[in-house]
Structure 1
Amino acid sequence: MKFAYKFSNLLGSVYRKGNVLFTPDGNSVISPVGNRISIFDLRNNKSETLPIETQMNITCMALSPDGYTLIVVNESGEALLCSLISKSILHSYHFHRPIHQIKFSPDGKKFAVTREDKIMLFHAPGKTREFNPFVLQRTFYGAYDETVCIDWTTDSRVLCVGSKDMNTRVYGAQHFKNLVVYSMGGHRDAIVGSFFEANSLDLYSISQCGHLCVYECDTDLDGLIPYKPTRTDEQEDNKDKKLSKTDENTEGKILYKRLAKHSFKDCRPEGSSYPRVTSVDYHKSTHILVTGFLDGSFFLHEMPDFNLIHSLNISEQSIASVRFNNTGDWIALACSGLGQLLVWEWQSETYVLKQQGHFNNMTCLAYSPDGQHLVTGGDDAKVKVWNTSSGFCFVTFNEHLGGVTGVIFTQNGQVVLTSSLDGTVRAFDLNRYRNFRTFTSPRPVQFSCITVDNSGDIVCAGGLDVFEIFVWSMQTGRLLEVLAGHEGPVSSLSFSPKQSLLASGSWDKSVKLWDVFENKGAKENMIVNSDVLAVVFRPDGEEIAVSTLDAQITFWNAQNVVQTGSLEGRHDLGYSRKEIDKITAKKSSFGKAFNTICYSADGKCLLAAGQSKNVCIYSIQDQILMKKFEISCNMSFDGMEEFLDKKKMTEWGSLSLVDQGEGDEQGQSLSLPGVKKGDMSSRHWKPEVRVSCIRFSPTGRSWAATTTEGMLIYSLDQNLVFDPYDLEIEITPVNVRKKLFEKEYSTALILSFRLNESNLIQEVLESIPYSDIDVISENLPEIYVDKLLNYLASGIESSAHIQFYLKWTNKLLMCHGPKLKQRSQKIMTTLRSMQKNITRKYDDIGKLCDHNRYSMDYIIALSKSKRKHTQDADDSESESEASRSDDECVGEVLKEVGDASSEDENFMSNFMDTE
């Protein structure tokens, strides 16, 4: 159970490629992030990444109308049927070809798939009882190039398909006498989107060159005649004769007429460059069309008159996907070049969601002391702060001009310190969200690492090109000292948690210990066998772990500087081979090592990771590997396989060594430096899987790693684990409730913890009267105190009974404080988790109270002003009528504002009485 960490969330990356979707209620956005799926709950301000992975990056998704099942397709054409209820994979199906779009019918009984120049129509899974969920019903032909887009009529009987052959075709999902297939041209470029009108066969088609055609059908949906085969047709054995007989009668066939042809170029100012259309969506009930372009702009038009509503630019990169929610109020816009996801409310012109990951690789991360926040730095010179509970980034700092190499929180959690290759160390205030201090060196230096002491007064940073350590004062911002002695770049710094001891590791194969307050020279010098990559102190400050270039981790006693142990981790990293490597995976592993290491919260284990897909957890006492986590199975990354794929080997060598140009969709687009828009020299590459930084949460419940695909968070999942304690046969939920009914609250609470069901514990705990908390807390056995504190720590986060839970917490800590202090190391995780959740509740309620206080002050001031105006205007009125009470004035103001509910009036009267 100690190492039962499971994938919890993916931060730092909100979108990669593919189409975004809204849930049927319109409150959540489903976004593909590499080979994973993230769901952003816009109402509750939460984000969640499903524990589902595909073998390659996801290119398209389709959600059933009931919102229960999701079909995702990756780059190789593998489709996964996923359940959003159980969050698991139900079935897999391989199309063996890339899929551009997949879409369910409005009634949820069928779904259509674009595969090469064909349209495949399947029965929707779950609607009928069959062993194979993917049952092919029909296949439509006729296109001369790849099909790219699909749309259904509202009755799910007809679908239209756009193709790269510049034509839009209408197919009947069932046999009709007057509709077999209808093809419409009129475009000069590939079709991007085609859409039916609501309850009609009229449709719109949009091409990449920016032309929109409006087609009108002479037949309604009710005018489609189902085909009923005659008896003579049933007796015919020749298939060609059947087709000839059905084609003989051409009378009564539906006909389309092009009413108008519009161009998006007319909506742009004269002389401006005209980009290509990349994505489009149409909301049928509101008749609003949204169109995304290659330059990051998007248009909103009212159809069918093509009236321009909005013309905005949100990015400098291409908009890869746009999507309306069910009401048509919100529009989701995704940009793959910047990893950007926006939800925009077009009527009020406000952002509902605005998230963007790091443009380049994330290089470093750090937890706040309470575990509530995470800060990350990347090669894009940005520093982002994330909320671990919601999964959202709430502030981004852009002050750095070069790649960020190190981030760290001060002990109070209010300041973030960062080091960068631009030659500055910056301090950011998380209360005012500003850069309040900038530390520089006398000469330009590229800083490679950073650390701060426990008091937050001393800031140290190591140089990459001058081999020195710079020490500043946080209070004054002045440079105090320059520590010289290393003969190579300083790779890592770490302050001791207990004393003023600084450890520095360098590429000169040495680790030096400095006393920054007393001696100017190095206090101790530890020589290792290879270049030092990472140095870290144990949480108690008694031990130092050093990772070197030869894939070894050595442990040293911090007091007498004696080596106490070592780990050989070369084979634990795993073997992997890049596509362009000309040596074997076993040979290439000699150049890999642990680039980042971190102690667990209790100091008994060590996490280590590097240029590999594996994260290793070692037991320090036993010096063995306890568990290995594989962070990704995404084959779109380089360095995932041990052996090269034989299918990619030719007589001239590997196909990966051949430049396949811009048409290759296997890698990411890489633009030339300095080019922001319209780069025609982009080339493709496959990112290599690696872990750049790993950190353990102070609460001990989770750890985070910055990887190629984002920041992965692994945590202990308690909800799905049944772990009874001292269970007996007579301990049942019925007996627990019986004791509760008999008002034996202490016994019922103990029995519920022995059964260890969360719902039952909550029922018993919240049924205990408020007045009995003191007595039960004092007489509770010691072993159940720890269990109750652990439950309260998690319950405070989600419960609405804040005072009730805080009363329990306060009484337990007051009654059992001395005994808890003796075993503080065992329950440190629980106490940190409790502190994190209480702090979060305190901040949330504090903001709400501040907002209410300002609102009350405004209402009272407005009421007094109105009363004074009334007294001046009505001198002839009686004194009793002129001197109305504050309650009446406040009530009138609330009534004018529209908030004069009964609860507000009662609250206001109570407030005025207290005044």
Structure 2
Amino acid sequence: MKLLRFFIRYFPPGIILEYEEGGSIKTKSIDLLDLTSDSDPDELLVEIQNSEPLITDSRAEQVKELIHRLQQKQAHNSSFSLHQEVHVHLLPLTNVAFNKSGSKFITGSYDRRCRVWDTTSGQQLLSLEGHTNIVAAVSFNNPYGDKIATGSFDRTCKLWCAQTGICLHTLRGHSAEIRCLAFNPQSTLVATGSMDASVKLWDVKKGKEVATLKGHSAEILSLSFNSVGSQLVTGSSDQTVVIWDVASESLVHMLVGHTGEISNAQFNWDCSLIVSGSLDKTCKVWEAVSGRCVATLVAHTEEVLDVCFDSTGQLIATASADGTARVFSAATCECMARLEGHEGEIFKICFSPQGNTILTASSDKTARLWDVQTADCLQILTGHTLEIFSCAFNYEGDTIITGSADNTCRIWRCKDEA
């Protein structure tokens, strides 16, 4: 084997090795999921060299420099300040999403339009028009960012060029409203979930249906691919979660146990676990391979409205209609932090890419930033005049978008970057 070059992956932290073996070019990753800004680079280098023969002494300084670069990205952000208020739509927003670099974001709305915005200037770049009903779901095909998918209550999904705004394909086939969608990591497929209880897979390049996945008995409320794109997980109002094999287009496991509709379901980073949140006030953690329920997280007094893993897959965050959020260890399923302070239900929760901060969006018209370790509220983002139902970090973790029923989007920048 001959090492050719390194690539760096900031979130979750890791170093990708490109090497030659038997005349073929291959890659492997060195995952550094426990890396912090306080980790000792010399000790880490020794551990890497002991486990990876491709990292010889001649490459040691190069690897050490990559570790330093990764550590710089793990540092805490300072507080955020309002950068722009964007009056985006005539009617309330439904969703917001960044491209990977965070240079652009997209908004969907009840007004049947999607708009693409420049994050720095707050100026509209594109208006994507053509849907004839509410646009419920929007996404860039990250990490590439050259295409956009929009899913609508008009029963269609549209694929757009992210540079020109030209509609590349209109995907027709669902018999009811589209509620959710996602690109696979390779950007070759887009999956759509519908109120017709089916999931469809579409070829992004050709704009043709590849498969219809049937197994749920009621509308699909959430869907997401695992990090390698081999499986898809869906959550439904039929109170079940289903794992699908993408290549064979088949149902792998139906995860039964919730007694309320599923609000969200996601894989962790290494594709070994799935977390699901439900209106039955609980979250469940499942083994992806066996479909076995590992734990039921009972910590909320009202419906669980959102759930997510951090970028490393080591932590789970839950958001509830009881106005609180929780942080759990994915390994032990023990509650590590109780985030309390909102005066209304929490619709959305997400980790910063670094994993040390949590962002929540609430019906109390505020978003809040929380310290994961101490559970302290670091900052309250105020200014919206109606409920905030969508929020997101960019890839670097230095910019936040909040989307509100007041028809505006607010862009918040880390004060060090503003």
User: Which interval holds the TM-score relative to the shorter structure?
Assistant: 0.5 to 0.7
Distance (Å, rounded) in 1 between the aligned partners of 2:210 and 2:288: 24
Aligned pair count reads 317
> Which has the larger share of strand?
2
3-state SS, counterpart of residue 431 of structure 1: coil
Percent of aligned positions that are identical: 20
Cα distance change, pair 693–436 in 1 and its aligned pair in 2 (3 A):
farther
In the other structure, the counterpart of 2:75 is none
1:351-402 deviations in whole A, cap 9, x for unaligned? xx98427655544444543272554444444445566677787655444333
Structure 1 residues not aligned, in runs of 5+: 17-32, 35-39, 41-45, 53-86, 88-352, 572-591, 633-639, 641-688, 722-915
Q: Which residue of structure 2 aligns with residue 550 of structure 1?
A: 322
Do the aligned partners of 1:534 and 1:597 also contact (CA within 8 Å) in 2? yes
1:694 partnered with 2:396: no
Matched, 1:563 2:335: yes
Residue from 358, 361, 369 that aligns with 1:609:
361
* Structure-1 residue corresponding to 2:84: 7
Shift of 1:539: 0.5
Q: Which residue of 2 aligns with 1:403?
A: 177
The 1:535/1:718 distance shift into structure 2, 3 A limit, reads closer
Deviation at 1:456, TM superposition (A): 1.0
Deviations 1:312-361 (A, max 9, x none): xxxxxxxxxxxxxxxxxxxxxxxxxxxxxxxxxxxxxxxxx984276555
Unaligned runs of 5+ in 2: 1-77, 92-107, 110-114
* Structure 2 residue aligned with 1:822: none
Q: Which amino acid aligns with 1:597?
A: I
Find the counterpart in structure 2 of residue 440 from structure 1: 214
- Quick check: 1:547–1:553 contact (8 Å CA) kept in 2? yes
What is the deviation of 1:535?
A: 0.8
> Displacement, 1:612?
4.7
Whichever structure has more helix as a proportion of its residues is 1
Provide closer, same or farther for how the CA distance between residues 523 and 631 of structure 1 changes in structure 2, counting only shifts above 3 A: same
1:553 CA displacement? 0.2
Q: 1:713 and 1:391, CA in 2 relative to 1: closer, same or farther beyond 3 A?
A: farther
Q: How far, CA to CA, are the matches of 2:287 and 2:358 in structure 1?
A: 26
C-alpha displacement of 1:410: 1.9
Alignment match, 2:299: 528
Is 1:516 aligned to residue 213 of structure 2?
no
AA aligned opposite 1:605: T
Amino acid paired to 1:567: L
The residue number in structure 1 matching 2:192 is 418
Distance 1:706 1:6 in 2: 14
Give 1:76-475 correspondences, 5 Å limit: 355-356=128-129, 361-370=134-143, 372=145, 375-384=149-158, 396-441=170-215, 444-464=217-237, 466-475=238-247
Deviation at 1:473, TM superposition (A): 1.3
Q: Is the contact made by 1:549 and 1:594 (CA closer than 8 Å) also made in structure 2?
A: yes
Q: Quote the residue 1:501 is aligned against.
A: 273
Summarize the Cα distance change of 1:495–1:543 in structure 2 as closer, same or farther, 3 Å threshold: same
Q: Matches of 1:47 and 1:369 in 2, distance apart?
A: 16
How far apart in 2 are the matches of 1:544 and 1:431?
35
In the alignment, what sits opposite 2:7? none
For residue 692 of structure 1, report the CA deviation from its aligned partner: 3.6
Q: Is the 8 A contact 2:284 2:296 kept in 1?
A: yes
Query: How do 1:415-814 and structure 2 match up within 5 A?
Result: 415-441=189-215, 444-464=217-237, 466-517=238-289, 519-530=290-301, 531-571=303-343, 592-630=344-382, 632=384, 640=385, 689-708=386-405, 712=409, 714=411, 716=413
Deviations 1:58-101 (A, max 9, x none): xxxxxxxxxxxxxxxxxxxxxxxxxxxxx9xxxxxxxxxxxxxx
- Give me the whole-angstrom Cα distance separating, in 2, the residues matched to 1:394 and 1:705: 28
Give the distance between the partners of 1:389 and 1:627, measured in 2 at CA: 35
Match of 1:896 in 2: none
Structure 2 CA distance, aligned partners of 1:417 and 1:512?
24
1:432 to 1:492, Cα distance in 2 relative to 1, 3 A: same
Q: What is the Cα deviation at residue 433 of structure 1?
A: 3.0
TM-score by length of 2: 0.64
Provide the rounded CA distance (Å) in 2 between the counterparts of 1:361 and 1:693.
Answer: 16
- The normalised TM-score by structure 1 is 0.31
2:401 and 2:330 map into 1 onto residues whose CA distance is 27
Q: Residues 223-266 of structure 1: CA distance to partner in whole angstroms, max 9, x if unpaired?
A: xxxxxxxxxxxxxxxxxxxxxxxxxxxxxxxxxxxxxxxxxxxx
How far did residue 601 of structure 1 move?
1.8
Q: Distance in 2 between matches of 1:699 and 1:387?
A: 24
**Conserved 8 A contact 2:342-2:362:** no
Deviations 1:686-730 (A, max 9, x none): xxx444433333343544455446684736499995xxxxxxxxx
Distance, in Å, in 2 between the alignment partners of 1:704 and 1:561 is: 30
CA distance in 2 between counterparts of 1:476 and 1:542 reads 29
Distance 1:604 1:415, change over 3 A: farther
Distance 1:49 1:497, change over 3 A: closer
* 1:414 CA drift (Å): 3.4
Deviations 1:578-621 (A, max 9, x none): xxxxxxxxxxxxxx311111112222222211435433222323
> Structure 1 residues 626 and 451 mapped into 2: Cα distance closer, same or farther (>3 Å)?
same
Distance 1:711 1:500 in 2: 38
* Cα distance in structure 2, aligned partners of 1:371 and 1:690: 32
- Partner Cα distance (1:613, 1:364) in 2: 22
Cα pair distance change 1:47/1:468, threshold 3 Å = closer
C-alpha distance in 2 between matches for 1:511 and 1:446: 20
CA RMSD of aligned residues (A): 3.8
